Amino acid sequence: MPVQLKPGGMGPAGPGGTPVEFAESMAARMEEALNELLDDDGLRTLPTDDNSRENRDRRRLFVAIARGIVRHLEERAEAVTIQVPDVAGSTRPVHPTLVIDGTPWP
């Protein structure tokens, strides 16, 4: 079964941990990446273990961005391909290339 993109969701407001709709999503990965960048610069990272209004306000932006990215990719699916090199008989690892509009990425 193919893996599906999970842009993310907000889940219900209120106390508790991270909503299931947000966990393990593209938006959650954006939140993790932001915390990595903050930490790299010696700045205080943002809390991620609750469903506070402050966290929801930040997560709303990540969910909106992730949903926009997924919609954009779905609408332009023909622009994205994966090229797999022909390695028949080789024991070398296969490294597929993401191609967007005919250009290898990155």
Interval 80-104: pLDDT, tens: 888 887 777 777 777 778 888 888 8
- Give a yes or no: residue 13 inside a domain: no
Low-confidence ranges of the chain (pLDDT < 50): none
54 falls within a domain: yes
Q: 18 lies in a domain?
A: no
Is residue 21 domain-resident?
A: no
For residues 54, 59, 62 and 65, what is the CA-based torsion angle, rounded to 10 degrees? Answer: -100
Beta strands in the chain (DSSP E): 80-83, 97-100, 103-105
Give the predicted TM-score (pTM) of the model.
0.77
Residue 93 covered by a domain: no
**For residue 82, is it within any domain?**
no
* Total domain count, the chain: 1
Q: What is the pLDDT at residue 5?
A: 84
Segments forming the whole domain that contains residue 67: 26-77
**Is 19 part of any domain?**
no
Backbone phi and psi for residue 13, each to the nearest 5 degrees, phi listed first: -75, 155
Asked if residue 44 belongs to a domain, the reply is: yes
Give residue 1's pLDDT: 61
Provide the pLDDT for residue 54: 93
Cβ burial 33-72 (10 Å sphere, 16+ → b, else e): eebeeeeeeeeeeeebeebeeebbebbeebbeebbeebee
| Measured distance CA(24)–CA(88) in Å, rounded | 35
